[in-house]
Amino acid sequence: MKTPLYLSLLGIAAVTTTSFKKAVSTNYRTATKNTYWVKIEKSKYELQIYDSSGEWLITYPVVFGNKDLGDKMIQGDRKTPEGTFHITCKRKHEKWSAFMAIDYPTQESYQKFNERKANGLIPADAKIGGDIGIHGTWPHEDYAIDQYQNWTEGCISTKNAYIQEIFNLLPVGTRVDIKR
């Protein structure tokens, strides 16, 4: 009889002392753009949230656009851009639960784009693209995340329940680092 009770108490203690509990307990209304930062590793299919001291808080599974996971080259290539970005706005979305836009293209993005044009890696009339963000999935299609199905036009997608947590936690201005 004591063993199940002990295990239950141990489980409750473990859940209440996780790093994510610390993040959730912070009043997101008082969070500033420097309270958290996001690291997205495309090769690991992960979105990780850290606090301002660099302490890891939580990891979410994510998917992208093109399955080769390369850096965005041109508009329409379905690739997710790499670099340092910031959340520019947040809004509820009728298809994907919530949407957090990032400031792609940045000055760094334009520099890479122009270098690629100059080196003949992309067509001279190519456009850089835009409208990249972090969002949920189509209704009832969270399985795309579990199955690592890259389906977006270059955005970062996670399950709808997760995007709600992220949306509520991260303020506009939060840094988002995306790497392969």
* Contact indicator for 148, 55 with CB cutoff of 8 Å: no
Q: Is residue 7 included in any domain, yes or no? A: no
Q: Is residue 96 included in any domain, yes or no? A: yes
Q: Is residue 21 included in any domain, yes or no? A: no
Token reading at 112: 């890479």
* Contact indicator for 147, 27 with CB cutoff of 8 Å: no
Domain count, the chain: 1
Confidence class for position 93, pLDDT limits 50, 70, 90: confident
Find all residues with CB under 8 Å of 74, minimum gap 6, and list them: 113, 122, 123, 126, 127, 128, 129
Q: Is residue 151 included in any domain, yes or no? A: yes
In the chain, the amino acid numbered 132 is: I
Whichever domain contains 58, its CATH number is: 2.40.440.10
Q: Is residue 136 included in any domain, yes or no? A: yes
Q: Which residues pair with 85 in a beta bridge?
A: 176
Confidence class for position 94, pLDDT limits 50, 70, 90: confident
What is the span of the domain harbouring residue 97?
A: 27-179
* Contact indicator for 83, 108 with CB cutoff of 8 Å: yes
Q: Is residue 17 included in any domain, yes or no? A: no
User: Considering the entire predicted model, what is its pTM?
Assistant: 0.83
Q: Looking at residues 170-178, what average pLDDT do you find?
A: 98
Q: Is residue 63 included in any domain, yes or no? A: yes
